[in-house]
A and B are shown apart, each in its own frame.
Chain A
Amino acid sequence: MGDAPFLSVEEISKTFHSDQVVNQVLDSISFTIQRGETIALLGESGCGKSTLLNIIGGFERPDQGFVKLQNEPITKPSRKAIMLFQHYGLLPWKSALKNVEFGLESSSLSAKERAERARHYLDLVGLSGKSQMFPHEVSGGMKQRIAIARALAPQPELILMDEPFAALDTFNRYHLQDQLLNIQAKEQTTIVLVTHDIDEAIYLADRIFIMHSNPGRIHHEIHVELSKPRDRSHPDFYAYRKQILDEFHFSRQESAIEFHI
């Protein structure tokens, strides 16, 4: 079994029915992911990328096909694949530390071990001094860092991110993306990231799956072969950017040269 892929998505299809409208959101999607990879699912809203992420997490069932994590089919949510949400999903009545400990709620650790591990992961996201703060007392960026610490605490095989930084301003977003790269280098977590932010996809992902809608399909796969951490202003970065913009037909094909030297 050693050579089975870490995560395999096979022939996933999903259709939503509402009144008379039949909407095929996903049409036989297949791919595999290796341990430690970061994958970005990039597409416009409505292309089914969040539905696909929910199916990988076990929150929704596909009509056809299946998802296997370490060769075991995923049928329901579990601590092996933790989802991070755009709006953090923190429990407002718990302190940062207790929120992280909540990630270990169903583990067999003792109360002391839980607190220790929660502290360790709060340190890792740079919030060691804020463990007693409540979610409403900290900024959006800190909330997402608490959520990341909580997701890491049970040491999941896979982290699923549903537009995790979309609610943050640009500077916070850049800062958190860097932090995520650091953490990923240390923890070797496998990440599937859903985003509509092209720069975010290029900055974080090893491979980018470009999704188009009606029905949702993976249109194209792009290997980002730049070493991390990447330079957002490097010409190579822009080359990937242009390639993706072309995919979405946002580039101007025949833009006139605006000036000559």
Chain B
Amino acid sequence: MKLKFLAPAGIGFILLIAVWQMVYTFGNYDAVLFPPPLAVGAAILSLIQDGTLITHIQVSLYRFLLGYLSAVVIAVGLGLLLGRLPLLWSILDPIAQVIRPVSPIAWSPFIVLWFGIGDIPAIVIIFIAAFFPVLLSTVGAVRKVDASYLKVAENFEVKGFPLLFKVIFPAAFPFIANGLHIAVGTAWIFLVAGEMVGAQSGLGYLIVDARNSMRLDFVMAGIVFIGVLGLLLDKVVGVFERWINRQWGIRAT
């Protein structure tokens, strides 16, 4: 099964690299403006060898996890309450709908002026990027909770916080997990943008820094790492989501 997936993926990447190399060879492009696969490979190797890559990845993952996890905790908590308070949600929903389509980057002037430079701008941007998908999916999940569970809880006189944490949260969890999965992707996309705003380290900074010194091979190396790490994060959350569904008795479709 693993092989069935890996073999086509391997063929795909070999083809991609081959086309890339051919475009470079036959197009007669400048290696500075269009780095060939080998140059990028060398850049990747040198980044791994001199240890800068590990530092950048550590910093990026730290910011990502801090921004993402705090967004998840706050958005899930708020979503559970707002899902149960339809009147309040009907007031707040339009506001959320207006803010949600705004790219978190648009807030960067405020973020830099309010929070300065360093780790915080990137964390705030990741937070904003993850917050809305999680909030909206949580509210939706709470409102979709099977009425029969609520009826059973009412019958056994379970109410208040026990109702919220022992019935509504677990009943909504498979749908919330789906929102968490979507938010990982969105937040990771904005990691690079966040680190281009005032950060002095991280994968996004690696790209900005390489651009400033016209090392497009290093830019490309950064892009490869961001893509691979994003894929890995997505897989981790996917495994988590499948585990939840199995635990909850939902058959994968």
Write the residues of chain A forming the contact surface with B, with a CB cutoff of 8 angstroms: 57, 59, 76-79, 81-83, 85, 87, 89, 91-93, 102-106, 134-137, 154
Contact = CB atoms under 8 A, between A and B. Distances in A.
A224 B171 CA distance: 42
Contacts of B166: 102, 105
Contacts of B154: 59, 76-77
B157 A93 contact: no
Interface in B190-213: none
Nearest to A93: B170
B157 to A, nearest CB: 4
B163 to A, nearest CB: 9
A83 B248 contact: no
B193 to A, nearest CB: 37
B156 A102 contact: yes
A135 B248 CA distance: 9
A103 B151 contact: no
Contacts, number: 62
23 contacts: A59-B151, A77-B151, A78-B155, A79-B157, A81-B155, A82-B156, A85-B148, A85-B151, A85-B152, A89-B149, A91-B170, A93-B170, A93-B248, A102-B152, A102-B156, A102-B158, A105-B157, A105-B162, A106-B157, A106-B162, A134-B249, A136-B249, A137-B249
Contacts of A85: 148, 151-152
Interface string B154-186: 111111001000110011010000000000000
Nearest to B152: A89
Contacts of B90: none
Chain A contact residues: over half helix, strand or loop, or mixed? loop
A97 to B, nearest CB: 15
A240 B158 CA distance: 42
A83 B170 CA distance: 22
Nearest to B249: A136
A91 B155 contact: no
A89 B151 contact: yes
Interface in B97-152: 148-149, 151-152
Contacts of A91: 149, 152, 167, 170-171
Nearest to B147: A89
B253 interface: no
Given A105-B162, A134-B249, A89 B148 contact: yes
Interface in B2-18: none
A12 B143 CA distance: 32
B142 to A, nearest CB: 15
Given A59-B151, A85-B148, A105-B162, A92 B248 contact: yes
Nearest to B150: A89
Nearest to B154: A77
B247 interface: yes
Contacts of A82: 155-156
Among B149, B156, B170, B249, max chain A CB count under 10 A is at B156
Among B152, B154, B248, B249, max chain A CB count under 10 A is at B152
Contacts of B162: 105-106
Given A77-B151, A83-B155, A136-B249, 4 more contacts: A77-B155, A85-B152, A89-B152, A93-B249
A59 B249 CA distance: 28
B249 A106 contact: no
A240 B144 CA distance: 44
Contacts of A104: 156
Nearest to A106: B157
Nearest to A154: B156
Nearest to B247: A93
Nearest to A59: B151
Contacts of B250: 92
